Amino acid sequence: MKAAVIKTVGQFEVQDVPEPETGPDMIKVKIKYCGICGTDPEILEDRFGLMKGRPPRQGPSGPRIIGHEACGTIVEIGKNCKMGYKVGQRVAMNFRSSCGVCYYCRNRMEHFCEHSIPASGSYAEYAVYHEAAIYPLSDDISWERGALLEPISIAVHTMDQANIIPGRTVAISGAGPIGLLALELALKAGAAKVMVSEPIAEKRAVAKKLGADITVDPMNEDIIKIGKDFTGGRGFDTVIEASGNLNAAKQSIMLADKGGTVVWAAVYPYDREIPVNPFYMYANELTIRSVFVAPYSFPRALNLLPKLELDPLITDIYPLEKIQDAFENHKKGKSIKTLIKMY
């Protein structure tokens, strides 16, 4: 099969590699689309904290293939699979499954599973998944929408952390895929006033189209003052930081109202820190939460697929053989969601 293999730090090479084998509890999928996640460039460039220093090739396991925001068609089903999936069925996938037996799985924290079952990388013609990672797509869901199931699941978990109820005020930092999906879900959850901060004008325009009351350029405007003015001098009930910028993460604390909730819904450099004033936290009773993958979120994300406005988020589609160009374009910052289309 054709696959984008990481040959050296920062570089893909599209080459012929063996198809992954389908184990007894696994399902093989012919990939249609795989989206570029914000973590993928970090993995490619060896900057992602969870994978820092892993070699381009992982010994006998074969070439290093990444990519996880995928959808496609089932082509092979392991003999022990139980859910009645069919060859030819349209599906979208999680990139990992939990073991179900470790301490965290049995304590309602499956995302911290100690023995998680990874899928093979999806920047490839074929990938294999544990049966528990498979979610059927109805015929009325486009392939492009199907590829957004995983990022929608992250936005769903962000809402789980965000303490948004009808009438609340919300600020969102970053109008990338997660920030914009969080905007849509916050409005569906009843947010009455939403401000989105984003330095790129094109992305601010999309945020406005999707329902943001006001948008702010944090590079050229005083976001704290604008936010305070917008909320009658108080600050926001919930602040969602989805840009991955350390300054924005620090600033999110100052945007929150007393008793507010701050959610860091992004990946930050693994070796950096930001100062937090403990007296300020004490005096304002703030809650800071974070988002790590998407526990128990995929069924709800699947229900939301036909309900969200997703077309404005899909800004670029590249064929697999142009994946390096896709990543270079992603670095420029103007694309929102880039999809890689397989052969």
- Look up the CATH number of the domain holding residue 13: 3.90.180.10
Identify whether 303 is part of a domain.
no
In a domain, 33, yes or no: yes
What tokens does 10 get? 């920062």
Q: How far is the C-alpha of 173 from the C-alpha of 227, rounded, in Å?
A: 12
**d(C-alpha 114, C-alpha 98), whole Å:** 8
Pair (185, 231) in one structural domain: yes
Q: In 3-state terms, what secondary structure has residue 311?
A: helix
Neighbours of 336 (CB within 10 A): 20
Q: Is residue 162 part of a domain?
A: yes
Total domains, the chain: 2
Same-domain check for residues 100 and 7: yes
296: in domain = no
Q: Is 305 within a domain?
A: no
Residue 139 domain-assigned? yes
Do 132 and 233 belong together in one domain?
Answer: no
pLDDT for res 53: 59
User: Is residue 132 domain-shared with residue 231, that is, in the same domain?
Assistant: no
Domain span holding position 210: 154-290
Half-sphere exposure of 217 (CA within 13 A, CB side): 8
> Is residue 124 domain-shared with residue 184, that is, in the same domain?
no
Residue 255 lies inside a defined structural domain of this protein: yes
The pLDDT, as a whole number, for residue 41 is: 94
Residue 24 sits in the same domain as residue 80: yes
The whole-number mean pLDDT for each consecutive block of 10 residues of the chain, a chain of 343 residues, reads 94 96 98 97 89 50 86 98 97 97 97 96 98 97 98 98 97 98 98 98 98 98 98 98 97 98 95 94 98 97 98 98 97 96 90
Whole-number pLDDT of residue 52: 61
Give the model's pLDDT for residue 49: 82
Does some domain include residue 298?
A: no
**143 and 259, same domain (yes or no):** no
